[in-house]
Amino acid sequence: MQVDYIITEVGSTTTVATAFIIKSNEVKIVAQGKSYTTVMDGDVTIGLRKSIEDIENQIGEKLTYKKMLSTSSAAGGLKITVHGLVEDMTVKAAREAALGAGGNIKLVTAGKLRRSDIKKIREINPNLIMIAGGTDFGERDTALYNAEVLSKENLNKPFVYCGNKANIDDMEEIFRGQELYIVDNVYPRIDELNVEPARYVIQQAFENNIIKAPGMNKIKEMVNGTIMPTPGAVMESTKLLYELIGDVVVLDVGGATTDVHSVTEGSSEVLDILVSPEPKAKRTVEGDLGVYVNSENIINLLDTRDLKGLDKEYIKSNIRAIPETEEEINCSLILTKKAVEVAVNRHVGYLKRIYGDSKKVIAYGKDLSKVKYIVGTGGALTRLPEGRDILGSIRYTKEDLTMLPRGKARILLDNMYIMASAGVLSKEDKEAAVMLLKQSLGI
């Protein structure tokens, strides 16, 4: 059988392949296959081939494809270090760009780099290094100093410069002979973020360099289309959903992390009192909140109202990667609900009354109050029961000013578990990606 696309998701432990046939008004999923990821075996294509063999066993015939696309979070995903000028300004802007592109932020520094910072960068061994700093035609020296230091270290890494555009000529000279991507300033003027150009280039740099990663060097033998970081692909799907249905937040609860993606400008009431700008499309990664690998972290956060009459030791003894018994499912649901609650509270902003003036309120962070749809993806929310109820619990039903989603926000589930696939497919065939999302979410 020939299919139009095979889209593979290369995770840290498993590789999933999905075969698609595209018709005039629908995208048909032929089958999904899976295998263990074989990056640590030195060749990711072993796992890719086995996941396709799994599909062939299901359909009973050989499979050929016109194009293979892939997303990857294997071997730590897209590890990035970010180096800017001021923590609340250019550093924050560069960090938002990296996270939205699917990056796994391993180190953030503000100001001039020190020897200890360079030591940490070498230990992290990032896939990409970002340098920011200064509004356009503002402060120049910090970014230039950091560039000189990093260039002399011979790190053999791609660099993205997204700072003061007055430094561009100097940056090109400093990094002559090295891989350098120059993009528009992520913080061109005070209180203005411009993160999308940097996100695009980060994903381009990832695709150019993924073949250099250990175990991934043969991936181009099979993947003849786009390769993206898996979280970046989910963000692309979230932005597509924004175009389709309006303001949206997507929660992805996994075994190791919980990601929150939102695309919304927020309410005019909050924007008027917002202290610093927030990106329209924002992603946060809670690396300590996972329902399997990091389950103990969530268990430690549980209080009496979360436990439903159970004790923490009982829950700990009933956590499985794929829960099957009623006890295991109930314990996983408790962790999933807590992961959603904590991750949303970390993603959303907050309101603060000014001391001495009880009538004046200021806002910090991301405003979700205009979100129309709350979407769940990932195994915990789409494969366990009660996913809709868990997502509905984050809505704020009172009349007070809030930055949480309101009670009228609708709940949708990624029933086919294809948001990452749709995101990478959108780079090749946006219309097909839209059809796929509509089918999976029932919209």
Give the pLDDT confidence of 380-438 residue by residue, as tens digits.
999 899 999 999 999 998 888 889 999 999 999 999 989 999 999 999 999 999 999 99
**CA–CA gap between residue 213 and residue 429 (Å, rounded):** 27
Give the pLDDT confidence of 33-51 residue by residue, as tens digits.
989 888 888 899 999 999 9
Percent of the chain's residues with pLDDT above 90: 76
Instruction: Determine contact, residues 156/125, Cβ cutoff 8 Å.
Output: no
pLDDT at 13 over 90: no
Angle between helices 230-245 and 196-209 (to 10 degrees): 140
Residue 256: pLDDT band with limits 50, 70, 90 = confident
Q: Output the pLDDT for position 356.
A: 65
Q: Output the pLDDT for position 75.
A: 67
Q: Output the pLDDT for position 88.
A: 87
Q: Output the pLDDT for position 398.
A: 87
Instruction: Determine contact, residues 372/247, Cβ cutoff 8 Å.
Output: yes
Q: Output the pLDDT for position 399.
A: 82
pLDDT at 335 over 80: yes
Q: Which residue has the tokens 């000529």?
A: 169
Q: Greater confidence, 286 or 211?
A: 286
| Rounded average pLDDT over 112-128 | 96
Nearest by Cα to 35 from 19, 58, 13:
13
Query: Which domains, from first to last, does the chain contain?
Result: 2-74 (3.30.420.40), 77-212 (3.40.50.2300), 230-288+347-441 (no CATH)
**CA–CA gap between residue 412 and residue 408 (Å, rounded):** 13
CA distances in angstroms from 321 to 39, 50, 218, listed in the order given: 20, 21, 29
The H or E element that residue 391 is part of is: helix 387-392
Angle between helices 115-124 and 141-152 (to 10 degrees): 50
pLDDT at 359 over 80: no
Residue 130 β-bridge partners: 82, 160
Instruction: Determine contact, residues 259/375, Cβ cutoff 8 Å.
Output: no
b/e map 256-294, b = 16+ CB within 10 Å: bbbbbbbbbebbeebeeebeebbbbbbbbbbebbbbbeb
Q: Output the pLDDT for position 249.
A: 98
Residue 71 β-bridge partners: 9, 228
Q: Output the pLDDT for position 321.
A: 81
pLDDT at 358 over 70: no
Q: Taking the CA atoms of 283, 288, 294 and 298 in sequence, report the sign of the dihedral they define.
A: negative
Give the 3-state secondary structure of residue 31: strand
Nearest by Cα to 6 from 60, 61, 65:
65
Residue 215: pLDDT band with limits 50, 70, 90 = confident
Residue 357: pLDDT band with limits 50, 70, 90 = low
Q: Output the pLDDT for position 47.
A: 93
Percent of the chain's residues with pLDDT above 70: 99
Residue 322: pLDDT band with limits 50, 70, 90 = confident
In sequence order, what DSSP letters do the residues of 123-167 get, joined into one string? HH--SEEEE--SSTTS--HHHHHHHHHHHHTT----EEE-S-GGG
Burial of residue 351 (CB within 10 Å: 0-12, 13-18, 19+) is middle
pLDDT at 198 over 90: yes
Mean pLDDT of the chain: 93
Torsion angle, alpha carbons of 112, 117, 119, 122, to 10: -100
Give the 3-state secondary structure of residue 321: coil
Q: Output the pLDDT for position 93.
A: 94
Give the 3-state secondary structure of residue 37: coil
Q: Output the pLDDT for position 49.
A: 95
Q: Among 112-121, 232-241, 398-407, 418-427, whose mean pLDDT is lowest?
A: 398-407
pLDDT at 320 over 70: yes
Q: Taking the model in full, what pTM does it have? A: 0.89
